[in-house]
Amino acid sequence: MTVNPDYLVLFFTTTSGASGDQLGSDEKEIVQLVWQVVDLATKKVNELLVKPDHIELSEECQEVSGLTEEALTEAEPLEEAIEQLNQRLCAEVDTGAGSTFYLCTDGQLHIRQVLHPEASSKNILLPECFFSFFDLRKEFKKKFPSEGELKDLNLQVMADCILKRHVEYDLLCIFCHQFSFPEKVNDKFETGTCSKMERVDDNTVIRARGLPWQSSDQDIARFFRGLNIAKGGAALCLNAQGRRNGEALVRFESEEHRDLALQRHKHHMGTRYIEVYKATGEDFLKIAGGTSNEVAKFLSRENQVIVRMRGLPFTATIEQVLQFFSPACPVTDDSEGILFVRFPDGRPTGDAFVLFSCEEHAQNALKKHKDILGKRYIELFKSTAAEVQQVLNRYSSAPLIPVAPSPILSVVPPPTFMPPTAAVTGVRDCVRLRGLPYDATIQDILVFLGEYTADIKPHGVHMVLNLQGRPSGDAFIQMRSADRAFLAAQHCHKRSMKERYVEVFACSAQEMNIVLMGGTLNRSGLSPPPCKLRRLSPPSYTFPHGTAVLPSAAIYPSQFLLSPRPLAPTTTFYPASNPLYMNYTTYYPSPPGSPPNISYFPTGHTPSAGSVLSAPPTALIRMQGHAPSHAYNSGIKEILSMVHGYQVNLDAVVGLSNRTA
């Protein structure tokens, strides 16, 4: 496209922060607008000072522009300054007589990284002239293609080049060539579909993290205002439960715009800062790519607002959905504007997507959030084309019957990485607190323990954090002795802290260390910290060829283990080349018995000869509180069914009567 403007207007901006190649990267506000209508006769330079919301100039800004904070206090805010600039430009070039003009800037930053983002954040409607401009550096490169790289050009370099070529020292000399293909700034984001077969350039995609959960693709486009996002190029990511996880993949029209987007790392969307990183075209296609003709037809209607319905009754029909939204918010094309999400076998998932012709109808529809359809309340969310693709792809690829991993079939000696049993169990001289308020501090814990605070070792209070680095509600306390730890657990168990009761248990230092390193300690047993690398087993152990592992020893004393059930022959269901998926709890089985240092019978109690209590401790377990649904009437048969598969001596099953009477 070739254009012949009557005038060219040189345009520059100044922010209160960085300048040069970092202009706009620090999200600082505009403090100065400078322009010059190209006229060889007058060479008049105009400027307008802009009053930012927060007057705070950096040293670099004061040095480069010569501005002071006092001078800005009398200036006009950005919206009024832009209006004045537009009026004065129109008068100077006499647009009333049909004259046209184009803005020219030194690079892309003044328009794309400064003016448009700030105008968007302040809800300022920019005049049409700011959506089309010429980049002086690119125009210079067209005139002198052999003069350096585009990224290294600036006004001084271009002026020096002109002098070397014995041309009049005036940048206006480069305007003698024909101007063509001005830079365009998209005024709105266009939704669309993307096929999985489409080729996406890796250098045009970024990943944005930290988005508010209610943000839409239009909010993402607004965050990157000034940069051109490809049609349908904003894809919100979903987690395993189908909910938004605060991430999005964005595809831009060119690598240049992608690089400018990376400079907006940690800029703000509302009160949250957004992290921006490089991504690949494959990442984008995994989220936004689709293969379904039904989805493509549904999304082929352009300029439609998509609303997602979640929690629909499985018997819901199109007529019920239309009636749910009518008459305040009519659905586009009636039944053609509704897409039910189904499993591959045709069963409904409870999700659906609905099209509305305008934002007003969509907002009215969202007001019905949690209204009742049938006997269920319906959740409504503003959605995107990429989200439709993700949800349909996820359900269409879901297996009808989940496949469980192969059972562990052979037994080998305990791996070398397992510590000795006694060393792992250790002395229970620590205390575990569970159920703490999330805002609890070490001082709160000391007050909670009361008289037992004097028994805490120096630096012996350890708060447990979750994977996000936040308090998990657990803490471990190192005590001076096992006796004091036991007494603290007995006296402080279920005491209240900030209107919450806290559970207190005695434990060993080894168990504490495993949890603090990332392992788990719960009712299902003690599991080691997860492997940080992509391995199938802990680092120091290698599986024998063609076999699986089930160690015959555990981290708890042998007297609390039952005899193992007979195992199948040492064959495998999978070929040796297939990966073997292991559960870490295999290495650390849960103790079915009771803690080793708690006595259940009075001191001095000696079982009679031949009784079950005189049997070796390796064969004894205690089942406390079993059969709660029919207490006190469980028989031998019910107990045997609970330990089915283990080698149990039938004569050794004893029921204890209640001795509290």
Average pLDDT over residues 29-52: 82
Same structural domain for residues 28 and 173? yes
- Whether residue 145 sits in one domain with residue 12: yes
* H or E, element range at 504: strand 500-507
Residue that finishes a domain, picked among 522, 545, 572:
522
Maximum distance among all Cα pairs of the chain, rounded to whole angstroms: 121
> What is the helix (H) or strand (E) element at residue 380, kind and residue range?
strand 379-383
546 versus 15: the higher-pLDDT residue is 15
**462 within some domain:** yes
Answer yes or no: is 411 within a domain.
no
What pLDDT sits at residue 659?
43
When pLDDT is averaged across residues 649-657 and rounded to a whole number, the result is 56
Instruction: Give the CA count within 13 Å in the CB-facing half-sphere of 615.
Output: 13
Structure-model confidence comparison of residues 556 and 241, the more confident one: 241
User: Which phi and psi (to 5°) does residue 443 adopt?
Assistant: -65, -40
Range of the domain at 137: 7-184
Q: What is the CATH number of the domain that holds 217?
A: 3.30.70.330
Question: Does the structure show a pLDDT above 50 at 157?
Answer: yes
Structure tokens at 111: 């328009």
Name the 3-class secondary structure at 86. Answer: helix
Residue 532 is assigned to a structural domain of this protein: no
pLDDT tier at 301, thresholds 50, 70, 90: confident
Quote the pLDDT of residue 614: 46
Question: Which helix H or strand E contains 492, and what residues bound it?
Answer: helix 482-492
pLDDT higher than 70, residue 510: yes
- Residue at 528 is within a domain: no
Range with the lowest mean pLDDT among 279-288, 429-438, 602-611?
A: 602-611
Q: Which of the listed ranges 53-67, 412-426, 473-487 does the model predict with the highest average pLDDT? A: 473-487
Greater model confidence, 636 or 87: 87
More confident residue, 400 or 435: 435
Residues 471-500: tens digit of each pLDDT? 888 999 999 999 999 999 999 998 889 888
Cα separation, 284 vs 290, in Å, equals 11
Same domain, 384 and 359: yes
Same-domain status, 279 and 299: no
Residues 89 and 122 in one domain: yes
What are the DSSP E strand ranges found in 22-75?
Answer: 30-37, 46-49
pLDDT, tens digit, 9 for 90 and up, residues 93-139: 877 777 788 888 888 999 999 999 999 999 999 999 899 998 888 88
At position 452, the amino acid (one-letter code) is: Y
Query: For residues 148 and 146, what is the distance between their CA atoms, to the nearest angstrom?
Result: 6
Give residue 302's pLDDT band: very low, low, confident or very high (50, 70, 90).
confident
Residues 261 and 299 reside in one and the same domain: no
Last residue of a domain, which of 254, 269, 288? 288
The whole-number pLDDT of residue 628 equals 46
For residue range 261-285, list pLDDT tens digits in order.
Answer: 999 999 999 889 999 999 999 999 8
Q: What is the CA radius of gyration of the chain?
A: 36
Q: What is the spatial distance between Cα 502 and Cα 142, in angstroms, rounded to a whole number?
A: 73
* Count of the separate structural domains present in the chain: 4
The answer to whether residues 273 and 380 belong to one domain is no
pLDDT number for residue 556: 38
CA–CA gap between residue 368 and residue 325 (Å, rounded): 8
Q: Which of 396, 421, 453 is the last residue of a domain?
A: 396
Indicate whether 619 belongs to any domain. Answer: no
pLDDT number for residue 429: 92
Per-residue pLDDT, 525: 52
Residue 165, pLDDT score: 58
Lowest pLDDT segment from 2-16, 56-70, 101-115: 2-16
Task: Indicate the pairing of strand 7-15 with strand 101-105.
Answer: parallel
Contact 324, 364 (CB under 8 A): no
Q: Which positions ≥6 away from 323 have C-beta within 8 Å?
A: none
Q: Specify whether 279 is located in the same domain as 321.
A: no
Q: Judge if 47 and 171 occupy the same domain.
A: yes
Res 590 pLDDT > 50: no
Kindly state the DSSP code that residue 566 receives in the 8-state scheme: P
Q: Residue 33's closest CA among 18, 6, 55, 51?
A: 51
298 shares its domain with 274? no
**Of 150, 28, 30, 19, residue with least CA distance to 79:** 30
318 domain-assigned: yes
Q: What is d(CA 388, CA 290) in angstroms, rounded to the nearest whole number?
A: 9
Q: Is residue 371 domain-shared with residue 387, that is, in the same domain? A: yes
Does residue 179 sit in the same domain as residue 213? no
Per-residue pLDDT at 389: 81
Residue 629 pLDDT more than 50? no
- Which residue, among 634, 600, 602, has the nearest Cα to 617 in the 3D structure? 600
Note whether residue 598 is domain-resident. no
Is the predicted pLDDT of residue 426 greater than 50, yes or no?
A: yes
Question: For residue 440, what are its two tokens?
Answer: 């609890």
> In the block, which residue shows the tokens 């290294």?
152
Letter string b/e over residues 248-282, b meaning 16 or more CB atoms within 10 A of that residue's CB: bbbbbbeebbbbbbebbeebebeeeebebeebbbe
pLDDT score of 264: 94
**Distance between CA atoms of residues 378 and 312, nearest Å:** 6
Q: What is the phi-psi region of residue 267: left when phi exceeds 0, alpha when psi lies from -120 to 50, beta otherwise? A: beta
Q: What is residue 603's predicted lDDT score, i.e. its pLDDT? A: 44
Classify the phi-psi angles of 469: left when phi > 0, otherwise alpha if psi is within -120 to 50, otherwise beta: left
Residue 561 inside a domain? The answer is no
**215: which 2 tokens?**
């943000």
**Residue 155 predicted with pLDDT over 50:** yes
CATH assignment of the domain containing 170:
3.30.420.10
- How high is the mean pLDDT of the chain? 75
Check residue 131 and give its pLDDT.
93
